Amino acid sequence: MYEVILYYNFSPVSEPEKFAKQHKKFCKELGLKGRIYVSSEGINGTAGGTKEQIQQYKDHLRSLPGFEDTEFKSDEADYIPFAKLICKVREEIVALHVDGVDPKEGGNHLSPAEWRNVMESGEDYVMIDVRNNYESKIGHFKGALKPDLENFYDFPQWLDEANIPKDKKVLMYCTGGIRCEKFSVLMKDKGWDDVNQLHGGILNYAKEEEGAHFEGKCFVFDDRLVVPVNPKDLAPIAHCEITGKPADTYVNCANMECNKLFVCSEEGAFQMEGCCSEECMKSEYRRPFDPENAFRPFRKWYNYFGEDFKARNEASAATPSKS
């Protein structure tokens, strides 16, 4: 069994390039895989490895000045859902494209229990899903506003046009909490006073409150793509874009020139051989369809359509299970 972590920390980094280079070297020597982004404002990452590797990584990051209080959201997986290790420098660890946003000036953090209590109290509030449309499409809290946006940096304009009363109690959530750290600051700067964010995001809430009042599943940025939140409500709320039937599995179109991420059922994937349209099925740049490997237990279509899918399958098949 392996462990997957999601984390961030807004702690100033004086030399991001140097930090990232040293950090990547450590992770590579440790054997970690994942995606880690560093900027002058801090670090944001998701990674996978054995429990021993992950513990060593946690200890290492927390040993660095300014990162002692880093919080990690953890999950178990039967494989490492990353093809390789990426550690890059970015302008922002989460891109809102608004100057002067200090996460230390953000909203009130509600624990999962406090969040649930507000939802069940009958209190008047507006809840905002601070994620992209393809994320909220397959899972969200009941009653939440779900902006039809493709990028986080589109949220400031959406907020200006949303007509949310300034005297409303605001609840906001995202996958692990990082987007709320910035968006809550923006809302306070624009005049909202009672701004609250779900501490640790959906993933933390799933662990602490078993996903109560959450419908569907949670999109994650690794090869799993989708993870369950509420064990009492696992039914898909989205629909296959090929067959129209309930589905919550995402697929990257097999046409490499398209590569569209879309909701697709097994039936739809077989019908279109992994493509999103008949036009893409005719493409000379289409990845081959391999139905025998496409639905291995616990693996998502995304793994198959990744260019290194076969190499990873062969490697995992040759490695004895550690579960």
Topology of 103-216 in CATH? Oxidized Rhodanese; domain 1 (3.40.250)
| Residue 24, amino acid | K
Instruction: Please name the residues in contact with 272: beta carbons below 8 A apart, sequence gap of 6 or more.
Output: 242, 264, 278, 280, 281
Q: pLDDT tens across 289-314, in order?
A: 876 555 443 343 333 333 443 344 34
Neighbouring C-beta atoms of residue 99, cutoff 10 Å: 5
- Which whole-number Å values give the CA distances from 55 to 2, 32, 48, 49, in the listed order? 11, 11, 11, 9
For the chain, percent of residues with pLDDT exceeding 90: 85
> Read out DSSP for 35-66?
EEEEETTEEEEEEEEEHHHHHHHHHHHHHSTT
Q: Could you give the 3-state DSSP secondary structure of residue 76?
A: strand
Average pLDDT score, the chain: 90
Q: pLDDT tens across 123-176, in order?
A: 999 999 999 999 999 999 999 999 999 999 999 999 999 999 999 999 999 999
Q: Considering only 96-105, 119-128, 312-321, which range has the smallest mean pLDDT?
A: 312-321
- Identify which of 201, 221, 7, 232 has the alpha carbon closest to the alpha carbon of residue 134: 221
| Cα–Cα dist 95/44, whole Å | 11
Write down the pLDDT at residue 65. 97
| Cα–Cα dist 261/239, whole Å | 14
What pTM, to 2 d.p., does this model score? 0.87
Q: Where are the alpha helices (DSSP H) in the chain?
A: 16-30, 51-63, 112-121, 133-136, 155-161, 178-189, 201-209, 266-272, 278-281, 291-294, 301-305, 309-318
Residues assigned a catalytic role: 174
Topology of 2-89 in CATH? Alpha-Beta Plaits (3.30.70)
| Residue 113, amino acid | A
Q: pLDDT tens across 90-100, in order?
A: 999 999 999 99
- The two structure tokens encoding residue 55: 């513990």
| Cα–Cα dist 301/246, whole Å | 16
Higher pLDDT, 217 or 233: 217
Higher pLDDT, 69 or 223: 69
Mean pLDDT of all residues in 23-32: 98
- Which whole-number Å values give the CA distances from 107 to 118, 170, 182, in the listed order? 15, 9, 9
Spell out the domain ranges in the chain: 2-89, 103-216, 238-318
Instruction: Please name the residues in contact with 104: beta carbons below 8 A apart, sequence gap of 6 or more.
Output: 10
